[in-house]
């Protein structure tokens, strides 16, 4: 029996979706987390397993599994996290998934609009920027209520890369990535610090460039090592933290894929930026100081994803 108000639905019960559901349940910020999948029995079994960990981990959120592609039980969700879609395989780019995942995301978005018309939607399916745009079109929701998870993950990867390079605690490192989730990702070294010192003061320019490149290819690095499937621990942490910020109406400023309408001189595109997150989704895009090169990179990323986002409208 749900002890708190609020419901979050996670669509897709693969590694990413089930780990996101687990993290959200352990946050204990809503009464119910619904885990759905087209496979009958899988989300139900995962939900049972997670619920049986509640007394050990000390949380009360109930996880409900819904299989067979049904959306029964998801009605009235406050947040819907869309993880449905095929993961990458070694040698595949995120763009290789576009046609297959577009059909899946469109179907999910239409069902979400029907069953949870007031929800905030967080998209994590790849290619991320394009699928976020498609989800907004398919739901018909206001742009602020549809956002994508990418910048938090890419920023976390950048932070980990810097901390490992310098042999320091991750808590002492602050980094930021903007732009697209892919080749036109824009890590922002000018906004990065280590123990409050600018990154450029503690790390040589060539090493920063190396870490930027490793961050940009962080997903492919994991995919190549796993050989089957793609990353899910760090991505699920990012998606769950975004959902938590919505539920708590926290006003946290997070790097996410959001609709940009004039900020940085860019308009009419979903793009990785910092945004203030609350109960209605994106309250506002937060503009920060960028170098000329970083701003140029962000504007290039906007144009690169703009064309692809226009293409998904017909998929």
71 marked as part of a ligand binding site: no
17 marked as part of a ligand binding site: yes
Three-state DSSP state, 60: coil
Contact 161, 211 (CB under 8 A): yes
101 marked as part of a ligand binding site: yes
End-to-end C-alpha distance for the chain, whole angstroms? 40
216 marked as part of a ligand binding site: no
Residues 23, 42, 106, 181: which is the catalytic one? 181
Smallest CA-to-CA distance from 212 within 265, 172, 248, 176 is with 176
125 marked as part of a ligand binding site: yes
> Rounded to an integer, what distance in angstroms lies between the CA atom of residue 181 and that of residue 205?
23
Contact 149, 235 (CB under 8 A): yes
157 marked as part of a ligand binding site: yes
Q: Would residue 210 show up in a list of annotated catalytic residues for this protein?
A: no
> Rounded to an integer, what distance in angstroms lies between the CA atom of residue 78 and that of residue 80?
7
State how far the alpha carbon of 148 is from the alpha carbons of 57, 81, 101, 111, 304, in Å. 29, 9, 15, 18, 17
14 marked as part of a ligand binding site: yes
251 marked as part of a ligand binding site: no
59 marked as part of a ligand binding site: no
Query: What residues are designated binding site for substrate?
Result: 88, 94, 126, 157
Residue positions annotated with a catalytic role: 181
Query: What residues are designated binding site for NAD(+)?
Result: 12-17, 37, 101, 124-126
Query: What residues are designated binding site?
Result: 12-17, 37, 88, 94, 101, 124-126, 157
């Amino acid at each position: 029996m749900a002890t708190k108000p609020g419901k979050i639905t996670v669509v897709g019960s693969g590694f990413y979706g089930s780990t996101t559901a687990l993290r959200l349940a352990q946050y204990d910020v809503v009464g119910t987390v619904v885990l759905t999948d087209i496979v009958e029995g899988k989300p139900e079994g995962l939900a049972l397993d997670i619920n049986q960990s509640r007394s050990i981990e000390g949380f009360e959120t109930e996880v409900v599994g819904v299989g067979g592609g049904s959306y029964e039980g998801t009605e009235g969700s406050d947040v819907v996290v869309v993880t449905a879609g095929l993961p990458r395989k070694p040698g595949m780019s995120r763009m290789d998934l576009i046609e297959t995942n577009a059909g899946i995301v469109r179907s999910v978005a239409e069902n979400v609009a029907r069953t949870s018309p007031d929800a905030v939607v967080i998209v994590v399916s790849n290619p991320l920027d394009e699928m976020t745009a498609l989800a907004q079109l398919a739901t018909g929701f206001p742009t602020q209520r549809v956002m994508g998870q990418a910048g938090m993950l890419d920023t976390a990867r950048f932070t980990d890369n810097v901390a490992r390079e310098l042999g320091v605690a991750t808590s002492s490192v602050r980094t930021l990535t903007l732009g697209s989730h892919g080749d036109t990702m824009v890590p922002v070294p000018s906004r990065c610090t280590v123990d409050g010192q600018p990154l450029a003061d503690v790390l040589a320019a060539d090493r920063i460039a190396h870490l930027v490149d490793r961050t940009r290819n962080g997903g492919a690095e994991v995919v190549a090592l796993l050989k089957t499937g793609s990353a899910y621990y760090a991505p699920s942490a990012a998606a769950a933290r975004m959902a938590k910020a919505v539920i708590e109406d926290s006003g946290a400023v997070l790097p996410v894929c959001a609709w940009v309408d004039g900020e940085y001189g860019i308009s009419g595109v979903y793009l990785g930026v910092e945004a203030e997150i609350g109960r209605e989704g994106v309250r506002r895009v937060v503009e920060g100081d960028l170098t000329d090169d970083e701003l140029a990179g962000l504007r290039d990323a906007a144009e690169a994803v703009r064309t692809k986002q226009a293409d998904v409208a017909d998929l």
